[in-house]
Structure 1
């Protein structure tokens, strides 16, 4: 399949250029949102110690990225939730349901080792269509 269109979407984070990634990439009508953490406008982790709060903030941020890509929550086809403490999966799932209970994209919940910043308890990755 030939790539017919590609658009990189940046959050403005210095990490994007330093590491070589985009917050999201739109390609062939799909939006791929990189795993996203609960960082506030100041770059610091928000919702410290609270998986539900972090997940909800992440999904709010992802909504902005989807809008920048010409998409929306309704177009999400897959969500992946990465947790450092799998026993907190219900908190992440509750936040996820606030956004996707009626849309019902494919979902994976994964237990991972700690992230680079130990205050990050959860990251979320999304695939949607435009």
Structure 2
């Protein structure tokens, strides 16, 4: 069983996919590029500004699902230039402070709309004891 999650406070999907899907106690959130949801345009600035916008878009989707960054168990960060890792990581660290999720970070040759960063994530929908 799956349920589509859509936030009006995050950019609409720019293709045939959902912002997020709830399934079996998890939320799978599609990659978010740094689009300002009001203007529909990529935010201007370096990877730090773009990382912040991507994370704010993810935050809006998590909020609409009724959870927050504390529920995130895995992220994948796609960077147009791996030399931007430190700048991205500095902003990222402000969103994930305790019990940081597992993460992969890779350099890619290009991202939609010329973005410098894209971030996707997986989160749990509730409290689990392991």
Would the TM-score normalized by the shorter structure come out above 0.5?
A: yes
Q: TM-score, normalised by structure 2?
A: 0.86
Measured in 2, the distance between the counterparts of 1:66 and 1:23 equals: 10
Structure 2 SS opposite 1:34: strand
Aligned mate of 1:65, from 57, 61, 65: 61
Q: 2:87 maps to what in 1?
A: 91
5+ unaligned residues in a row in structure 1: which ranges?
none
**1:44 matched to which residue of 2?**
41
Cα deviations across residues 16-38 of structure 1 (Å, max 9, x unaligned)? xxx32000111011011101011
Unaligned runs of 5+ in 2: 126-130
Aligned residue pairs total 121
TM-score by length of 1: 0.86
Structure 1 residue 67, shift from structure 2 partner: 1.4
Task: Indicate yes or no: 2:80 matched with 1:78.
Answer: no
User: What do you get for the CA RMSD once the two structures are aligned?
Assistant: 1.4
